[in-house]
Amino acid sequence: MALEIIKHLKNYTDEVLFDAFAYDFQISYAVGLRNIGERYFARRTFYEFRARLYQYTLDHPKEGDVIFQQFETLVQHFIKVAQLDTDEQRMDSTQVMSNIKRAGRLALAYDVLLQAIKACPPEILSSDLSEVLDSHYKTTLLYKLKDTEVSSRLEKLLNLGGELSQLVKDNEELRLRSEFQVLVRFLKEQTIYDDQRKVWLAKENKDIAASSLQSAFDSEATFRKKAGKNHVGFAVNLTETCAEANPVQIVTDYQVEPNSTGDVKMADQSLERLQKTTPVKDLYVDGGYYSSDLVKKAEGLGTKLHYTDMTGRRLFQTSYLTTPLTLKTLKRS
């Protein structure tokens, strides 16, 4: 598990990670070894661990995240060793990208189609579908492209996807593969089928939901606009200690959700966990977390929410006000 974390922190490939584990003393020290070469393991062990971990989350969706359970164990250990005060904590959210290439709509359509075609036996493919496998197809499709050609090329890919979905609809083994489930989802979200012309037409951008597929390689990533910026990926809600007397501050809770998930919903789910693992009396959040129901729930759990920055529209003077509308003037009135 430590090597998996290091891989993503350092942006290593598996090959670089294995070399670093074998020859880099800092990596050995980080995973608890004091001598290079003290311990080796087969690369297959690493791959199989990752596969088992993923399969467990699929087979036991209601039994909790085993990685999060490890995180909670470490948090309790660190709090005890460092004698940290958890009465005061703060919470905030941010946007993160999953390890996917960010693609435009045309590139996304190509990726989805290509993954599905690769999962097919070559002998069942039409000449048009087989052409997508050609090494020069992507270059011609995406890089030798005029602005005026985007729409026509997108609809060509969507119709190839529709053709492929019809080709495998009676083949249960192929139809149940993840590549085809992604293809079917993509077509449902991105197209409208024209019965008269027997073609798939691309939906307008405004008609595509924020929860729609954003990557052929990560079906859970979503789109969200926050603070005037576009984000594709996930929302992460983080809580950390913030008592001034603490020698260090540590993250006590995290939550990863599709980035269309609001702050209030994530906070609502985090509050009960926090009270069980790291009891908190004062929790500092910004105005994006405001909800009267959330305030009441927190009070019922023994936590007081402190809002550091409230959201809302700027207030302007009207013709019948001689001074700006402020909290003080409201109290006087």
Residue 226 pLDDT: 54
Q: Where in the chain is the domain with CATH 3.30.420.10?
A: 85-98+224-311
Span 40-95, pLDDT tens digits: 878 888 878 877 877 777 677 766 678 888 888 889 999 999 999 999 999 998 87
Residue 293 pLDDT: 92
Q: Does the model's pTM come out above 0.75?
A: no
Span 105-156, pLDDT tens digits: 777 888 889 989 998 988 889 999 999 998 788 777 766 655 567 788 888 9
Check residue 193 and give left, alpha or beta (phi > 0: left; psi -120 to 50: alpha): beta
- Report how far apart, in Å, the C-alpha atoms of 231 and of each of 156, 206, 226, 300 are: 27, 16, 7, 34
- More confidently predicted of 327 and 153: 153
Residue 103 pLDDT: 41
Alpha-carbon gap, residue 231 to 74, rounded angstroms: 31
Residue 242 pLDDT: 94
Token output for 165? 């979905």
Alpha-carbon gap, residue 60 to 212, rounded angstroms: 25
**How would you classify the pairing of strands 282-285 and 88-96?**
parallel
Among the four given CATH numbers 3.30.420.10, 3.40.1390.30, 3.40.50.920, 3.40.50.300, the one describing domain 85-98+224-311:
3.30.420.10
Give the CA radius of gyration of the chain.
Answer: 26
Span 252-286, pLDDT tens digits: 998 888 767 788 989 998 998 888 888 899 999 98
Residue 233 pLDDT: 59
